[in-house]
Amino acid sequence: MSFSATIKKNQTVIFCYAVALVLFGAFSIYMPGFASAAHIKTIFIESALIGFVAIGQTLVIITGGIDLSVAWMMTTAAYMVTNFIGSNDANLVWAVPLVLLLTFGLGAVNGLCISYLRVPAIVMTLGMNIILQGAVVAVTQGAPGQAAPKFLITLGQDSVFGIPIMVIIWLIFTVIVMIMMFKMKFGRRLFSIGNNAVVANYSGIKVNRVITLTYALSGMTAGIAGLLMSGKIGSYYLAMGDTYQFQSIAAVAIGGTSMLGGSGNYLGSIAGSLTITILLGILVAMNLPFGVQKMAYGLIVLVSIIISVRRSQKV
């Protein structure tokens, strides 16, 4: 493929990165401290958390679905790792696989009900989110969590050669996801199902199995985000994943993935994650009233999603 063809094919993703750079550059001129090394590091750390949740959300949306259970998947994972093992790093050997297996399994339940029982994705995943919320609140009685294990705090807060460890982990996962999407049969099946699940089924693709696996992966990546977030803040608190439910969907939409399914690129979701983080930073730096910040942010994201849907309808 020629260079011009590559540019044309990925013009939406390139545009998303251009928007993020323009936003960052323009406000850096207005407020010089915005471009400080410390703030840039903060932007990438916050983007990494959104980006981890957006991994599963991207895969799910490409199939034509949506996952609204990621918020309390994150909170559940953080609760388990902080309250079951506390600051004892030795227990991470069994605790982390257990947490990821649980969130993978819960995501698989979403997928099974959506694919085999034909429960609408928005209903099933929102119901799972509420169930997890009720379970965690019932168990904790609203009490704050213990300190996160020191190893997770290292992953969430420390850097290597000036690069946050969390961002390095995010880059590794990005490579894995891109290989899955564009170099493996699993990725081709995702796009086929998103374009037309009936045709995909007749072509021999096990549609129900792929959808189930996709939601399972979404649950697991949300669980990874929960573990890393507990390390970043050093502990756990109720509803710590709530903001990432909307942000992960917005990152995918801003990044050019079709909200109707069938097309998308995780590199675009990364650009969306960066854009959202920069926007939030700008709104906070402008010292606007909290309510105005929420309104402006919601309006910007809503317009982005509308544009994404309209663009998909024209394809």
Sequence ranges of the domains in the chain: 21-314
Instruction: Determine whether 244 is exposed, middle or buried from the number of CB atoms within 10 Å of its CB (0-12, 13-18, 19+).
Output: buried
At 295 the pLDDT is: 85
Nearest to 86 by CA among 164, 145, 129: 145
What is the arithmetic mean of pLDDT over 192-201?
94
Q: Which has the higher per-residue pLDDT, 128 or 260?
A: 128
Question: How confident is residue 5, by pLDDT bands cut at 50, 70 and 90?
Answer: low
* Contacts of 201 by beta carbon, 8 Å cutoff, 6+ apart: 207
Taking each helix axis from N to C end, the angle separating 165-183 and 266-285, rounded to the nearest 10 degrees, works out to 140
At 189 the pLDDT is: 95
At 138 the pLDDT is: 92
Residue 311, pLDDT above cutoff 70: no
At 12 the pLDDT is: 75
At 180 the pLDDT is: 94
One-letter amino acid at 15 equals F
Percent of the chain with pLDDT over 90: 59
* Architecture in CATH of 21-314: Orthogonal Bundle (1.10)
Mean pLDDT of the chain: 89
Residue 47, pLDDT above cutoff 90: yes
At 35 the pLDDT is: 85
Q: How far is CA 158 from CA 22, 152, 168, 175, 240, in A?
A: 28, 10, 11, 22, 21
Taking each helix axis from N to C end, the angle separating 185-195 and 165-183, rounded to the nearest 10 degrees, works out to 70
Q: What is the pLDDT of residues 117-165, one digit of tens each?
A: 999 999 999 999 999 999 999 998 877 777 888 999 999 999 999 899 9
What's the CA gap between 191 and 196, in Å, rounded? Answer: 9
Planar angle of CA 280, 26, 37, nearest 5 degrees: 70
pTM: 0.92
At 82 the pLDDT is: 87
At 308 the pLDDT is: 65
